[in-house]
Structure 1
C-alpha cells in the first residue's frame, strides 16, 4: 500500500465509539451501554479502553446475533443468548471510591452540587460488562416501539386531518417525543403483555386531549432536565400551567363524569415526575391521595353496578349515586389542587402549610382483623379466579401503578397528610379483586401485572411494614400484626417459571420474566428487616437472621442486570438494606448498583438515595437506627 493510500485510509478511520462502529467505519452515537447502530444492526456492542491500531481493528470480528420473534412480543429484534461476565470487586471498589472522592470535594450540605458531580462521573464499559446489558437495551427498544406506534398515529392524524384542530409546535413535538421515548420507557419496569405497558394505556388518551398533552410536555421537559438545569425551571413552569388547566376544568365543569381517566393519569404521572424534579415530597402525598379518591370512585361504581346488574329497577338509583359521587370527587380534587398550587415555589415549600381538607375524611388507623389477609403467591397466581369484576387494561395498569407508588412512598409520607389516606390493610383488601384477574393469556400469569409483576405480594409486605413503622412504638395489637407479617416476609418465596416456558421461550426472555421474581425476593427481605427493627428496636444489625436476609438480598441483586428496567422498583429496598449493611464491600457494591440504576433511569431520586446512604454510613452512630426516626427519610423521593 502506498503512503498516499495509507494516509487516505487513516483519515477514514473512526477514532471514537464502540468497536463494531469503528470496524465498519461509521459514526457512533456513543450511547452507553449499546449504541443505536448496534441495536439497529443486531450486533454485540463492545467497548474497550485500549488503543486500537489498524491491525487490531482488522482482526476484530463483529458478533452478529440472529433475530427471533417471540409469540407475545411484536418486535423484529429479540433477546439474544450471552454469557454473563463477572464484575470484579476491585473494579467496583475503584468506581465507588471515585464517586466518594468527588463528593468529598463538594460542600456536604449542598446536595445539588453532589448530585451534579455524580452525574458528571461515568462508568466505562470495559471488562465485557457491556455483554450484560444487550438484553436490557433490546427491551428498552421494544418499549420505545410501543410509544412510537401511537406517536406515529398522532402525527398521521395531525397531518392528514387538520380539521380535527390538533396542532403542535416543534417545541411540543420535541417534548412529546421525550415523554414517549424517554420518560415512559424509564417508568416501565416489567416485561408484561403489550397492551398493559404504561405507554399503551397512557399515550393514546392524550391524542385528543389537550390538557393531558400538556401533562406529557411537562414530564418530557422534566426528563430532559437530567443534565440541563435551565430546563428545570422551564419544566416547573409547564407543570404549573398544567395544574392551572386542571383547576379550571374542575371549577368550570358541572360534573367530572367521563374525565376520571385522564385525571387519574395526571395524578399518577405527576407522582412519578417528582422522582425526576425532586421538588417537594408533599406533592407526592397529595398526588397519591387524589389518585386513591379516583380509584375508590371507580370501585364504588363497579361494585354498585354488579350488585344491581340483575335488577333493572335500580338503574336510576345507580345513576343518582354516580352523580353525587362525582360531585364529592370533584370537590375533593379541587381542594387537593388548591393545596398543590401553594407548593409552586421554594419559599412556599419551606413554609409550614397547614393541610386541612374539608371534604376529605380522615382515615382510621385501627387495623381490623378482616384486613389482615395477605396476597400470597399461591392465590394471586393460582389458576382459579375467585373474582369476576370486569376490569380494562387501562384500569389494571393505573391501579397497579398507584399501588406501587403508594406502597413505597409510605416510608416518608408527611405526618400532616397520613390521616387523609387509607391504611394498606384496607387498600390492598379493596383492590385485591381487581389485581387477580388474568386479562390476557400469557406465558406466565404475572405478565398481567405490569408494574409489580411476580413481586406484588412482596410490595404488600413493604406497604404494611411502612405503615406499622409510622405507628411506632407499637401497641399490643400492632405488635401481633407485625409479628405475623414478619414471619410471612421471612419465608417469602417467589413463583417459578412453568416448564412450558422453559422449553418454548428463549433464555433471554426467561431472564426478563424472572426479574420481578428477584425484585420480589429483595423487597420481602427488606420488609423482614424493617419488621424486625420495629418489633425488636434494640436488636443488633449483626443478628444472624438479619445477615441471612442480607445474603438472600444480595444474591438476587447480583442476578439482576445492572441496567435492568426493574431497577426503579428496587429503590425502597435499596434504602432499607443500605442502612443495615456493615461490610464495606457490600456497601460499595450497593452504591455501585444505585448509581447505575440512576444513570440508566436518569432519575435524580436514585442519586439522592446514593448521597443519603453515603452520608448515613459516614455519620457517627448506627445508621440502622434511622429506620425508627419518623422523618429520617424526608428528603428522599422514593
Structure 2
C-alpha cells in the first residue's frame, strides 16, 4: 500500500474538518426581469412592476422611469434624486411622497371623455399640479370591516428615528387628522343601508383615498368640513380645502384626457365632493349639481365602452366566465361567503371584484343624489333626463353581486327603494319642466305605478334575527314613504291647483306619518329620507306633525353634519307662514312651493 509521508493510512480516507465550519454554498444565478423600472434595475432590487410608478420608487420619492419594451439598462443611467418633502417636521420619505415638477404622462385608453364642466369658485388657494397615479393596494381593497382602523391612515416611521425625534414631531399632521376624520367619520356617516360588508361606504370609498394626492385632498376637505360641525374655528379652513380640492381636479382633468384607469378614482372624487358640499359651509346646490354632471359623464363613457366590449365578446366569446360576476349561490354564512369570494383569485380578478363593488356604490350614490337634486336644481334644462338615465343604468342596479338574505342588500344606497327613487326622480323632472300633454300622460302613468307599487317582501325566516329584520324593515318603510311622497308631486303635475288640504294628499300623509314614527332616530336610513321629508312637510296641515318633521331633519343634520339641511327647514318655515332664520321671504304656501322656482332653488338636499 502506497503511503504519503507524514500521514497515517486512515487519514488518506477520512478528512477531518472543524465541525463548526460551514459548507460554501454556490448561489444560483437569477435571471432578472427586464420588465421592471430602470431605477430598480440600477439598484438591483426586485420591482413590483406597478405602473406608472412602482411602490419602491413611490416610497423613496423618486421618479419612476420605464424602459421601452425590453430595452437594456443604459450604462450612463443615474437614479433620480429623492424629492425633499415640503413639511419640515416630516424628514423621512413616506409612501405618498410625490415628485414635484414632474411631467406626468398617462397611457390613454380610447375613447376618452372630456371633463371641463366645473363651478367657478373663488381662487383663494393656489391651483394644484397633477400628481402621480398611484397603484391600488389589492389587500386594502378587500376590506371587510365596516370601520377602518385610523392608525392605517398614518404613515409608518423608522424605529430608529423614534429614539431621537421630539414627542411633538411624532404627532400626526393636521392633514392626517383630517383624513382620519374623513374615513372614520364622514365616509361612515354617509352609508345609509344595511348592506353586504363588501358594499359599504368604508369598503368602497376608503381604499381609493390613497390613489394619489388629488383625491387625498378631497378626503382631507371632507374630513375638515366634518370636524367643523363641532369645531367652528375650522369652517374657514374647510371652505379653503374644498376649493383646493376642486381646483386640484380641475388642474388634473384640464391637463390630459381622462383615461380608463382614471375613472374609478375620479368617480369616487366627484361623489365625495358632491357629498362633501352638503357638510361644507357656503356651498349650494350648484356645486353639487356640477359634480353630479361630471359623474354622469364618467358613467356614460364607462357604459359606452362596456357595451362595445360586450359586442366584441359576443363575436369572439367571453374571456372570463359570467363576465366577471360571481354566481348567485346561496350561503348560510356571510363570513364564509366573503372568504370564499376572495380566496383563489389572482390580483386581476381581485381588482375586477373591487371594480364591481365600487361601480355599484358609485352608480347608486350618483343615482340617489341625482334623483333628489332634480327638484331643486337651477339649470333643469341642461340636467340629465331621468328617463334616459334610469334606462341606461337600471340593469346595473338589478344585477346582484353577492348572495344575500334579500336581493336589495346588493343596493348599498337605495336598498329596497330603488324603484321608488326612480319614480321620485321622474316626478321631480315633470314638475320642473314645462307642462305639456306628454308630461301629463307620463304623470298619470307614474301615478298608476305608484298606486299599485308592490311592497318589497322580507322572507319569514329572517324574523328569527330581530336586528337583521329591523334593519331590512326600515329599508322597506323608506320605499313606502318615497313612493307616496312621489304620488303627491305627480298629483301636483296633473293638477297645478292642488292644495295640501286635498283629501287624496291627506290620505297619503296619513299613510306616511305612522311609518316615519316607526323609524328610530338613531337609524342612518333617515339620511335618504330628506327629499320625502321636504315633500311631506309641504303637505302637512298639523302643527305637531310639522314639528316632528323639523325635528327629524335636525336629527339627520346632526347625524351627518349636513349644514345643507338648514335650507330645507328654512323653505318649510316659509311655506308654513313662519319666519326664516336666513331671511328668506315669500308669499307662497304649501304645495305651491313646488311651482315656485326661486324657493325650490334655495333648497339643497
TM-score range, shorter chain: 0.5 to 0.7
Structure 2 vs 1, CA of residues 559 and 255 (structure 1 numbering), >3 Å: closer, same or farther? closer
Q: State the partner residue of 2:48.
A: none
Q: State the partner residue of 2:377.
A: 413
Indicate yes or no: 2:583 matched with 1:622.
no
Residues 377-400 of structure 1 show CA distances to partners (whole Å, capped at 9, x for unaligned) of xxxxxxxxxxxx997011001000
2:454 to 490, 493, 496: 493
Give the conservation status (yes or no) of the 8 Å contact 1:250–1:256: no
How far, CA to CA, are the matches of 1:429 and 1:414 in structure 2? 24
Give the conservation status (yes or no) of the 8 Å contact 1:198–1:397: yes
Give the conservation status (yes or no) of the 8 Å contact 1:285–1:413: yes
Indicate yes or no: 2:303 matched with 1:299.
yes
Report the CA distance between 1:169 and its aligned residue.
5.0
Report the CA distance between 1:636 and its aligned residue.
1.7
1:268 to 271, 292, 312: 271
Residues 533-574 of structure 1 show CA distances to partners (whole Å, capped at 9, x for unaligned) of 121112232222111100111011011111210111011011
Q: State the partner residue of 1:636.
A: 603
Higher helix share: 1
Structure 2 vs 1, CA of residues 560 and 159 (structure 1 numbering), >3 Å: closer, same or farther? farther
Give the conservation status (yes or no) of the 8 Å contact 1:144–1:180: no
1:230 to 210, 230, 233: 233
User: Any residues of structure 2 matched to 1:69-218 within 5 Å, and which?
Assistant: 146-149=146-149, 151-155=150-154, 170-218=173-221
How far, CA to CA, are the matches of 1:200 and 1:546 in structure 2? 41
Residues 294-338 of structure 1 show CA distances to partners (whole Å, capped at 9, x for unaligned) of 0001101111100011435999xxxxxxxxxxxxxxxxxxxxxxx
Aligned length: 413
User: Any residues of structure 2 matched to 1:139-538 within 5 Å, and which?
Assistant: 146-149=146-149, 151-155=150-154, 170-253=173-256, 255-277=258-280, 278-311=282-315, 392-415=356-379, 418-472=380-434, 474-503=435-464, 506-538=465-497
How far, CA to CA, are the matches of 2:600 and 2:523 in structure 1? 25
Structure 2 vs 1, CA of residues 489 and 313 (structure 1 numbering), >3 Å: closer, same or farther? closer
Greater mean alpha carbon deviation, residues 617-626 or residues 533-542: 617-626
How far, CA to CA, are the matches of 1:239 and 1:274 in structure 2? 8
Return the TM-score normalized by structure 1. 0.61
Q: State the partner residue of 1:321.
A: none
Greater mean alpha carbon deviation, residues 514-523 or residues 287-296: 514-523
How far, CA to CA, are the matches of 1:428 and 1:242 in structure 2? 30
**Matched residue of 1:258: which SS?**
helix
Q: State the partner residue of 1:342.
A: none
Q: State the partner residue of 1:13.
A: none
How far, CA to CA, are the matches of 1:168 and 1:493 in structure 2? 55
How far, CA to CA, are the matches of 1:185 and 1:499 in structure 2? 30
Higher Cα Rg: structure 1 or 2? 2
Gaps in structure 1 of 5+ consecutive residues: 1-142, 316-388
Indicate yes or no: 2:539 matched with 1:570.
no
**Matched residue of 1:604: which SS?**
coil
Higher RCO, 1 vs 2 (CA within 8 Å, ≥6 residues apart): 1
Structure 2 vs 1, CA of residues 231 and 582 (structure 1 numbering), >3 Å: closer, same or farther? same
**Matched residue of 2:419: which SS?**
helix
Gaps in structure 2 of 5+ consecutive residues: 1-142, 162-169, 320-351, 579-586
**Matched residue of 1:520: which SS?**
helix
Give the conservation status (yes or no) of the 8 Å contact 1:412–1:631: no
Give the conservation status (yes or no) of the 8 Å contact 1:147–1:203: no
Give the conservation status (yes or no) of the 8 Å contact 1:289–1:421: yes
RMSD: 2.7
